């Protein structure tokens, strides 16, 4: 059975009945099947249930469509964020990254065009350092997680 819902976004691929049911209180219901399932952190994964192997974090559910507009500091990004658009016209902004998840992408962009004066500091383990500063007007940093740190792409 396959099910696609646009409201809260659900993909269902399953065999069997309710024993395969997973519930996420904030995003509705996911059904666990042999090949495709949603984990508790709303990550869509592919797995071979018999072998116990998985390819985690193919698509963090909803993250590819979520844009967050930020104009106050600090902003605590979460794993559902994909694009963080920052307005630096009122002052410097700090964006705190969530714990790294393998394959997760987060993009931070100076939409206000003032990062040359009002820097954006992205805080987290990034390329071995403790943060990344966007200090160029309309600057951007794209990051991908490996499960323990973030890396610029």
Residue-wise pLDDT for 115-135, tens only, equals: 999 999 999 999 999 999 999
Asked if residue 116 and residue 67 are part of one domain, the reply reads yes
- State both tokens at 120: 């954006």
Per DSSP, the three-state class of 48 is: strand
Tokens describing residue 77: 């990004």
Residues 71, 53 share a domain: no
At 43, the pLDDT band (50, 70, 90 cuts) reads low
Is 81 found in the same domain as 52?
A: no
- In a shared domain, residues 42 and 75: no
Report the domain count for the chain: 2
Give the Cα separation of 73 and 83 in Å (integer): 17
Say yes or no: 76 and 51 in one domain: no
Which pLDDT score is estimated for 42? 57
Are 13 and 81 members of one domain? no
68 and 92 assigned to the same domain:
yes
What is the distance between the alpha carbons of residues 72 and 66, in angstroms, rounded to a whole number? 18
The predicted pLDDT at position 38 comes to: 57
Do 56 and 131 belong together in one domain? no
pLDDT at 1 over 70: no
CA-to-CA separations, 34 to 50, 122, 133, in angstroms, rounded: 8, 38, 43
Q: Both 76 and 122 in a single domain? A: yes
**Quick one: average pLDDT of 33-53?**
52
Instruction: Kindly report the number of other CB atoms within 10 A of residue 121's CB atom.
Output: 18
**Domain coverage including residue 135:** 63-152
Contact 133, 120 (CB under 8 A): yes
Tell me: do 43 and 67 sit in the same domain.
no
CB of 138 closer than 8 Å to CB of 110: yes
């Amino acid at each position: 059975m396959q099910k696609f819902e646009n409201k809260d976004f659900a993909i269902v691929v399953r065999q069997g009945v309710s024993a395969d049911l997973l519930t996420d209180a904030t995003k509705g219901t996911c059904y666990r099947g042999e090949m495709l399932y949603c984990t508790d952190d709303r990550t869509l994964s592919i797995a071979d249930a018999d072998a116990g192997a998985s390819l985690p974090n193919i698509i963090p559910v909803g993250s590819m469509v979520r844009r967050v507009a930020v104009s106050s500091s600090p902003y605590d990004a979460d794993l559902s964020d994909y694009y963080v658009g920052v307005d630096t016209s009122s002052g410097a902004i700090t964006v705190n990254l969530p714990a790294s998840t393998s394959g997760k992408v987060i993009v931070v962009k100076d939409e206000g065009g003032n990062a040359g004066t009002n820097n954006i500091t992205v805080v987290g383990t990034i390329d071995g350092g403790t943060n990344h500063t966007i200090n160029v007007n309309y600057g951007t940093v794209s990051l991908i997680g490996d499960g323990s740190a973030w890396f610029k792409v």
